[in-house]
Structure 1
């Protein structure tokens, strides 16, 4: 397992907490250790699946002031699961089946936005979630996307000043753009 696909390096967070993977013969687990030296196991993978930890286990996408966004549970041909974790106590804050433009938002593979974007349950709204502000914006979305994973029809997310542009393709392949003035909210 020393040559497995997860890093055994410790990641230090802005609040002086750390996260790190460990393993033994019984399991592989991701630990959050806060500055009080309290330890919380926030993810685990059976050792027989160690070769799939890069798809199944938690991978840090973004550190927010109050939480951590992880990607996990990625099947070979479908969407991943995204989980927000409280970075002080390891508790799950929220979980999402798929986020919009999470993989396509920048060229340097880091998620540089201070919010996440996803569909409401019935896809009639886009939700912009500002975790650190404890604020969610609901933007009406009229077009019905019918792909198996509609979030994957979004191609790019650009923030210029206060204008958020979501570029996507309609079901017939027509490129479209939704512009949202975040200063209005």
Structure 2
């Protein structure tokens, strides 16, 4: 699905650009119900919020010093997909916040993820697809698949420590070929945090005719 992304990574400062928050369209009341302009307030006092008028919607980061940065925008033809297409707030950690980027508004391509600096709103790193990310800042962990989907890459976004866990070679890539799934990340369908451990569950196939099998991986979140 094609869509227009209007992304600006420039600060807006000064009295001339200190505009009042916009959160309404007089000619389309439906947008007022679709787009939520309530701020997400980070622990450092910075804010993240949507604004919109009748021409576009845009996601704004506001630093503690009042400076603003537009992270993402949708034009009038796609405004009704605000919150489903493009940037969606995911989680806050000690130094950064995580944005989920939906490349399509529905099924079935996995989203991609981006880390942003929590003080400046600047993009820090592109993480790509993930199989897990923590909603709890106590465990600042994101997990992705390694080369050829033969391993899990566990990354601590606060300490930048990274390590991998091997998966059975070829299991996930073979399962994709034997199924309707478009990406191996979609094979992971459940996760559970127990104490300081994460239990990841994924499904796989050995032959096209056999039912799905399931496997669990135990990950130490304090490692």
2:113 and 2:190 map into 1 onto residues whose CA distance is 18
Instruction: Supply the RMSD in Å over aligned alpha carbons.
Output: 2.2
SS at match of 2:185: helix
2:69 and 2:114 map into 1 onto residues whose CA distance is 15
The alignment of Structure 1 onto Structure 2 pairs a total of residues equal to: 177
Counterpart for residue 108 of structure 1: none
* Contact 2:132 2:142 survives alignment (8 Å): no
2:118 pairs with 67, 87, 100, which one?
Answer: 87
Counterpart for residue 81 of structure 2: 52
**Range 123-132 or range 14-23, more displaced:** 123-132
Q: 1:11-32 deviations in whole A, cap 9, x for unaligned? A: 2111100111112344321111
**TM-score under structure 1 normalisation?**
0.83
**Range 158-167 or range 86-95, more displaced:** 158-167
Counterpart for residue 175 of structure 1: 214
SS at match of 1:9: coil
2:189 pairs with 155, 159, 173, which one?
Answer: 155
2:72 and 2:33 map into 1 onto residues whose CA distance is 16
Structure 1, gaps ≥5 residues long: 106-110
* Contact 1:34 1:89 survives alignment (8 Å): yes
2:94 pairs with 43, 55, 65, which one?
Answer: 65
* Correspondence 1:1-150 to 2 at 5 A: 1=25, 2-75=31-104, 76-77=106-107, 78-101=109-132, 111-112=135-136, 113-144=139-170, 145-146=172-173, 147=176, 148-150=182-184
* Contact 1:6 1:53 survives alignment (8 Å): yes
**TM-score under structure 2 normalisation?**
0.71
2:101 and 2:86 map into 1 onto residues whose CA distance is 5
TM-superposed deviation, 1:60:
1.2
TM-superposed deviation, 1:182:
4.5
2:147 and 2:72 map into 1 onto residues whose CA distance is 26
Structure 2, gaps ≥5 residues long: 1-24, 26-30, 177-181, 207-211
SS at match of 2:125: strand
TM-superposed deviation, 1:40:
1.0
